[in-house]
Amino acid sequence: MNITYIGRQVNVYEDQKQLVEKKLAKFDRYFPGQADTTVTFRKIRDNECMEITISVGNTLFRAEEQAEKYSIALTRCIDVIEGQIRKNKTRLEKRMRSSFVSPEPGNMAEDTEAFRIRTKRFTLKPMTAEEAILQMNLIGHSFFVYADADTGETNVVYKRDDGSYGLILPEKAE
């Protein structure tokens, strides 16, 4: 597992890195050597916040927790990611059997000065609406943009207020 550490206005010390590596080692059985992990440390008021994102092929696992100490936030993040894996175990096992495509680097976030708009770039991966909903739930977002596996069109799935899901399909202007 490749681990990248990011400290947002805080220093990341060697003992913190060792603790993270020790705790994340339990995921090696799920993702043997193919996972890229980003661990972000930051402080929010009096709390310490930790965000862990594990990227394996087209699948993302993400958890973000706040606590008094990073070690508590780390434990909570590990529990959240384990829950995501357990919840989606059968779907993930099917995807794990197929070969993974190495994700392209280039997830970038940049701010424009006028409106402070955060821009994120990513590669659209072909998938079905069901796979996109799974990804959306795994990363904890309310929507997910993807390329439809059948048509190649850019689509959006989103979670509705009543708990159901919606799908936005593009329509070409004439």
Whichever domain contains 69, its CATH number is 3.30.160.100
Based on the fold, state whether residues 134 and 62 are members of the same structural domain. Answer: no
CB 169 within 8 A of CB 146: no
pLDDT score for 166: 92
Higher-confidence position of 145 and 174: 145
Domain boundary among 97, 116, 141: 97
pLDDT score for 60: 85
Rounded to an integer, what distance in angstroms lies between the CA atom of residue 49 and that of residue 76? 11
Tokens 């206005």 belong to: 9
Position 159 pLDDT exceeds 70: yes
Element (H, E) at 83: helix 70-87
Is the residue at 164 inside a domain?
A: yes
Is the residue at 130 inside a domain?
A: yes
pLDDT score for 94: 66
In the chain, how many domains are there? 2
The neighbour count for residue 151, using CB atoms within 10 Å, is 11
Based on the fold, state whether residues 11 and 92 are members of the same structural domain. Answer: yes
Based on the fold, state whether residues 80 and 142 are members of the same structural domain. Answer: no
Based on the fold, state whether residues 16 and 81 are members of the same structural domain. Answer: yes
Mean pLDDT calculated for residue range 56-73? 87
The set of residues, in sequence order, having a beta carbon less than 8 Å from that of 151 and lying 6+ positions away, is: none
Higher-confidence position of 50 and 98: 50
Query: Which domain does 64 fall in, by range?
Result: 2-97
Range with the poorest average pLDDT among 13-22, 81-90, 157-166 = 81-90
Based on the fold, state whether residues 49 and 89 are members of the same structural domain. Answer: yes
Based on the fold, state whether residues 76 and 7 are members of the same structural domain. Answer: yes
